[in-house]
Amino acid sequence: MSTILMTGASRGLGRHAAEHLLRHHPDRHLLVLNRRPGLAAELTASTGNRNVSEITGDLASFADIRRAAARVDRPLDGFLGNAGLQVRSTLKATADGIEMTFGVNVLAYHLLLNLLLPKFTAPARIVVVGSDVHNPETNTLGLVPPPRWTGPRELARPVEGGPEDGRRAYATSKLGVVYLVHALARRLPEGVDAYTYNPGLVPGTSLARDANPVARALFAGVGHLLRATPIATGPAEAGRLLAEVMAGPRPAESGAYISRGEVIPSSAESYDERREEQLWADADELCGLGGTSGERRRSA
């Protein structure tokens, strides 16, 4: 039986995506990675599908990620990386001393996917959720400052910063996701594809839960106003689209950027192979992989 490993399935569009997969692709086993136990039972109760299991682990801990990856005891033909966060400043750190936003949104996926690569059996698909905030031209009405790429080692350092720095770190991490997927696509074996998926603006999620009350109210108010416009997508529809990119027909060539179900170019800045390869090399060292993952790069 084919298996999809998914992060970020507990709430918001991720919860809707998980339930859609269980309801509309019942032949696929869904293995959820979550910080707390009990999510698999909740998903079975809400969908009636018992074809779901769970592994507990925190993406803000490299040790947890390694333990979780070691517990995956079945071949994978899918990976859906939906978990991500936005925090108030750039001072908060992971268990390994990495700036929290960059650590969870980028480095956690680098480590987890490299540990899981031997378990993928073609045809297989890897989808990591990005965001249109990585692109200054589509950057959520200016509510999130545009990304500022200063290099992986600099971005990994916790530094004092205010709310704007925290939001900018989020946008920069989503640019890092695109770089990571491009570099990954060059290393995957034939028949294993990788994509960045942009769900667009999805009001009603808890992404801004770490913001101060004024910022949360601002995001909630803008989101409410945009719900009836084409700019926004509701969590249920966003989850459905994400699930179908994961489990539906092959959407595009590996490495593509898919926005709300449509294959489009990502930002001009996101096509930079030098940055992509530097991210891969630095992420290997920061995650304790020792550079071994780079040896899997496919020849051009």
pLDDT in tens, 199-232: 998 776 555 455 455 454 555 555 544 544 456 6
**% of the chain exceeding 70 in pLDDT:** 86
Is the pLDDT confidence value at 237 over 80? yes
Tell me how far the alpha carbon of residue 44 is from its chain's centroid: 23
Let me know if residue 69 belongs to a domain. Answer: no
Let me know if residue 229 belongs to a domain. Answer: yes
> Number of structural domains, the chain?
1
Let me know if residue 45 belongs to a domain. Answer: no
Which candidate, 55, 165, 59, 162, places its Cα nearest to that of 105?
59
Give the CATH number, domain containing residue 92: 3.40.50.720
Which tens digit of pLDDT belongs to each residue from 97-125? 999 999 999 999 999 999 999 999 999 99
If one compares 41 and 218, the residue with the highest pLDDT of the two is 41
Is the pLDDT confidence value at 160 over 80? yes
Which tens digit of pLDDT belongs to each residue from 3-25? 999 999 999 999 999 999 999 99
- For 257-276, what is the mean pLDDT? 97
pLDDT for 205 equals: 56
Let me know if residue 70 belongs to a domain. Answer: no
pLDDT for 14 equals: 97
Let me know if residue 33 belongs to a domain. Answer: no
- For 269-289, what is the mean pLDDT? 98
- For 42-71, what is the mean pLDDT? 98
The encoded tokens of residue 194 equal 């990788």
Report the chain's terminal Cα–Cα distance, integer Å: 33
Let me know if residue 281 belongs to a domain. Answer: yes
Let me know if residue 44 belongs to a domain. Answer: no
Let me know if residue 106 belongs to a domain. Answer: yes
DSSP letter string, the chain:
--EEEEES-SSHHHHHHHHHHHHH-TTSEEEEEESSTTHHHHHHHHHS---EEEEE--TT-HHHHHHHHHT--S-EEEEEE------S-S--B-TTS-BHHHIIIIIHHHHHHHHHGGGEEEEEEEEEE--GGGSGGGSGGGTSPPP----HHHHTS-----HHHHHHHHHHHHHHHHHHHHHHHTTSPTTEEEEEEE--B-TTSSTTTTS-HHHHHHHHHHHHHHTTSTTB--HHHHHHHHHHHHHSS--SSTT-EEETTEEE---GGG--HHHHHHHHHHHHHHTT-TTGGGGGPPP-
If one compares 291 and 62, the residue with the highest pLDDT of the two is 62
**% of the chain exceeding 90 in pLDDT:** 81
pLDDT for 210 equals: 54
- For 37-62, what is the mean pLDDT? 98
Domain residues for the domain of 182 are 77-293
Length of the chain equals 300
